[in-house]
Amino acid sequence: MVHPHPLAHVQFKHRCNACGDAYAVTLYDVLQEKRIQREWRSPRPPRGCHANFDSLVSEIPAELLDDVDRAWQRLIAHLPPEIDLQSV
């Protein structure tokens, strides 16, 4: 059973300095981006919106997001199969 990750429900609007548009970023997006950055580095520097997103990601402490993710994984590992968490 797939359970919705709570960090996917914590979002904020982020304005891009490159294009001027605002878009929603969830803490789950940031968690995933930090995991990617730990494992892989792009051969090219980021440009435009992605460069702006990278600066946002660097401001959020990876350790805190990892702590929340580990707690969530421990919680869902102990849930009986008949419990179905729903997104709110």
pLDDT tens string 37-56: 878 766 665 566 666 677 77
pTM of the model: 0.60
Burial class (CB in 10 A: 0-12, 13-18, 19+), 40: exposed
Per-range mean pLDDT, top range of 1-10, 25-34, 75-84: 25-34
Which has the higher per-residue pLDDT, 42 or 77? 77
| pLDDT confidence of residue 87 | 47
- Residue-wise pLDDT tens digits, 17-34: 778 888 888 888 888 888
All residues at 6 or more sequence positions from 3 whose CB lies less than 8 Å from its CB, including other chains:
76, 79, 85
pLDDT, mean of residues 10-16: 80
